[in-house]
Structure 1
Amino acid sequence: MRMAFYGSSLLSSYWNGAATYYRGLLKALAERGYHITFYEPDVYDRQRNRDIEPPDWCSVVVYEATPQGLVGVAREAAEADIVVKASGVGYEDEALLLEVLRHARPDALTVFWDVDAPATLAQLRQEPHHPLRRVLKDIGVVLTYGGGDPVVRGYREMGAAECIPIYNALDPATHHPVLPDERFTADLGFLGNRLPDREARVEAFFLEPAARLPDHRFLIGGSGWDEKPMPSNVLQIGHVGTRDHNAFNAGPRAVLNISRDSMASNGFSPATRVFEAAGAGACIVTDLWPGIERFLKPGEEILVARDGRDVAEIVQSLTPVRAREIGDAARRRVLAGHTYAHRAVEADRVLRRLAVRPLAEAAR
C-alpha cells in the first residue's frame, strides 16, 4: 500500500523528538510492504542539522514552509492509499491537516497520528472550535505514540471513530551497546530539549539533585539550555545528534528520563529516549508516571524516582555493577517485546483492517 506521511522530520532530530519514532516505525512498515513518502517542511534549521540522508526504504520530500509549498505537497495525498497527518509538523499544522484531508481520495484511509496526545487533548478541551476537533469524525483513525486508555477515552469523547496507541519502541540496528566515550562520562546524564512544559520538572529532577551532590558529575544534552543557570558540576553539551545517542547512553553510570507535564500526569507515555537508552544497555532512572510497569519492571529493569530527593539518593547509592545489571535487564526486556518490528505488526494489522472501510464506502 502507498502511504503519504506528513510529519515534522524524518531526516533531522534537531528540535524534533519524534524523529527516531518515525524512523523506526516507518522502516519496519516498509519491510512489511508499505511504499512510503514522507513530507517534511524546511523549518527550525532542521535541514542544516540532518542526522541522516534520505533512506532507501522511504522517499522524502522536503517542502518550503510557504502556503504554496504546503498546498503543493497536500495535493500529492491524492496518490496514496493511506494518508497520515502527524501532530507537531511545525508549519501551519491546522491548514496542512485541512488541505491533506481535502485532497485525500474518498477510498483512502485517513489517519491522524498524534505524537503528543495528552497535550493535544488538553488543547482540544480548551478550544472547542479547533480545526482538528471539527474534523475528527471524518478521520478514519487516530493513532498515538502513547497515552493508554486515558488517551483512547479522550479521543473517543471528542468524536474520533477509533483511537489506538502504537507505542514508542527500539530499533536494535540503530540503538545498541557501544564502548563508553569519555565525552559523556558522568554519574547521571539527561538528554532532552528545553521545553516550557518540562523545564520545571528538569529543575526538580535534575538540577536540584545536582546541587545536592556537588562532588558528582552531571551531564545535560539537548537544545535550548545555553542560557539556563546551572550548578557548576553540570556539563552542558548542546544538541546531541542521533549518531551520538548510543555513546551518550553508554557514558554516564545512569541516564535520566524526565517526562513532559502532560505525559507525566496522563501516564502510559514512555519517551523514545527510554527505549533508546534500554537498547544501549543503559541504567535508566525515570520520573514516576502511571503505566511504567507495562514497559519495564521498576527496581529490576528501571529505577523510579518520585522527586529530586529520590534521584539524589539513587545517584549516591548506585554502584557500577548494579547499574550494569539493570541496564542489561532493560535491554533484554525491550528486545523481547518492545522493538519497532513488534509495533509494526500492530500498526499493520490496524491499517489493513481499517483500509477496507473507505474502499467499501466508495464502492457504495
Structure 2
Amino acid sequence: MKILMVGVLRPGSNGLSLADGFRDAGAKVTEVDLSDLSYPRRGTRSWAELKWLRRHGSRAAMEFSLRLRRQSLDRFDLLVAVKCVNFPQEPLLEFNADKRVHVSFDDLGNPENVSDAYLRHEPYWDAIVTTKSYNVPEIRSRGGVPIFINNAYDPRLHFSDLPLSARRFDIGFIGARRRDRADLVRVMHTHFAEKAIIYGPGWRSERSSLVEVRPATGAAGFVKAAESFKASLVLLNSDNRDLQTARTFEAAAAGNLVLAKDTPEHREIYSVNEAVFFNTPSDLADLTARMDQDPTWAQRVATAGHDRVVGGNNAYFHRAMQIISEI
C-alpha cells in the first residue's frame, strides 16, 4: 500500500508517529511535512494571518500547493492529511489517490481547531479520523464519515522498565500551563512538598520553593523526564472536552503509575487496579503517604497499567491498522 502523509509531521508529533505506524503495518509512506507552515514564527505576517483569519496567506498556500504538486506524478492508495484544516482543501481532495482521509487529534467542535473552508469541504473526505468520541455524531450531522480511534503511544518514544523505587520524585506532570491548570503548582506545593516536579512551557512564573519546575522536554527527552517521577498526572484539555489524551497511554508505557482524570473513557481503558482515578489534583492528597507506606502497591498498579497499554494493542501501528481496515 502506498500512502501519502501530509501535514504536521515534525519529530515527536502524533502525525509522525502515525506515519511510522503505517510503515510498521507494511505500507510505503511518503511524507510532506507542513510543520513550518502550520506553526509560523510568532510576529510574522504568516503568523498573524493564521491567528486572526484562521487560514494561511497566499505565500503559505502557494508553498503548500507546490509541495503537494511535487508528489502528483505518483498515484497513492491513500492520502492522509493531518491537521490540515487551515490549508486550501481542494488540492487535497483532488489529489491523485484512491482514498483521502483527514486526521485530527483535536476537538473538531472547538472553533480554534477548524476553519470555514474545512467545514465546507468536510463531507467530501472519504473519512474523518478523530480521537474524540463526541465528535463522531457531530461529524456525521455535517455529512462527514467519521472514524473514531483511541489515542496511542509510540514505542520509539514512550518506553521504560525503570522501577518506581529508582525514580526520585513521587509525582510529576509533563505538559503546558493552561487556564484550567493554573492552580496545579499551588496544589502540588500544598500536598506534595519537595516530592513533585513539572515539565513544560508557561510554568516559569509559577515557581515554588517546594515544587521543581523545568522546561519542556521535547520528544527526545520524554523518557528521561518520565523516569524522574513515580506517578504521572494525566490532565485533560477542557477546551477540547477531552475524555482521554495521548498522555493517557504514554505515561503507562513509560512505566509511571497513571493518575487519570475520572472520565468514562479512562474507566474503559484502565481498571481500578491499573490506574488511580481523580476529579481534581487535590483528591490525590493521600497518595504520597500510601506510596511511602506501601511501595509494592504503587509498583503493582504501575506494572498493571503498563501491561494494559503495551499488551493491549495501543501503539500507533494498531491505530494505523484500524484506519486501513475501516477505510
2:91 to 94, 99, 121: 99
Partner of 2:246: 272
| 1:141-197 residue CA offsets vs partner (Å, 9 max, x unmatched) | 0011x222x22101101210x101122223335422244799973221100123xxx
Residues 246 and 277, structure 1, Cα contact 8 Å, conserved in 2: no
Letter in 2 for 1:221: Y
Map 1:207-222 onto structure 2 (within 5 A).
207-213=185-191, 215-222=193-200
Shift of 1:33: 2.6
How many percent of aligned residue pairs carry the same amino acid?
Answer: 21
Letter in 2 for 1:73: R
Classify the secondary structure of the residue corresponding to 1:187. strand
| 1:257-280 residue CA offsets vs partner (Å, 9 max, x unmatched) | 1110144x452xx32222122112
Alpha-carbon separation, structure 2, partners of 1:182 and 1:68: 54
Unaligned runs of 5+ in 2: 42-58
Unaligned runs of 5+ in 1: 14-18, 47-64, 352-364
Partner of 1:111: 101
Partner of 1:6: 6
2:60 pairs with 1:66: yes
Map 1:201-280 onto structure 2 (within 5 A).
201-204=180-183, 206-213=184-191, 215-226=193-204, 228-263=205-240, 265=241, 267=243, 270-280=244-254
Residues 9 and 16, structure 2, Cα contact 8 Å, conserved in 1: no
Alpha-carbon separation, structure 2, partners of 1:68 and 1:242: 30
2:32 pairs with 1:39: yes
Alpha-carbon separation, structure 1, partners of 2:15 and 2:167: 26
Letter in 1 for 2:5: F
Letter in 1 for 2:79: V
Q: TM-score, normalised by structure 2?
A: 0.82
1:133 to 107, 119, 134: 119
Letter in 2 for 1:344: A
Q: TM-score, normalised by structure 1?
A: 0.74
Partner of 1:310: 283
Partner of 2:46: none
Classify the secondary structure of the residue corresponding to 2:109. helix
Moved more, 133-142 or 36-45: 36-45
Q: CA RMSD in A?
A: 2.9
Equivalenced residues, count:
303
Moved more, 302-311 or 68-77: 68-77
Letter in 2 for 1:69: E
Classify the secondary structure of the residue corresponding to 1:188. strand
Residues 4 and 32, structure 2, Cα contact 8 Å, conserved in 1: yes
Alpha-carbon separation, structure 1, partners of 2:24 and 2:297: 37
Classify the secondary structure of the residue corresponding to 2:110. helix
Alpha-carbon separation, structure 2, partners of 1:316 and 1:182: 15
Classify the secondary structure of the residue corresponding to 1:330. helix
Shift of 1:303: 0.9
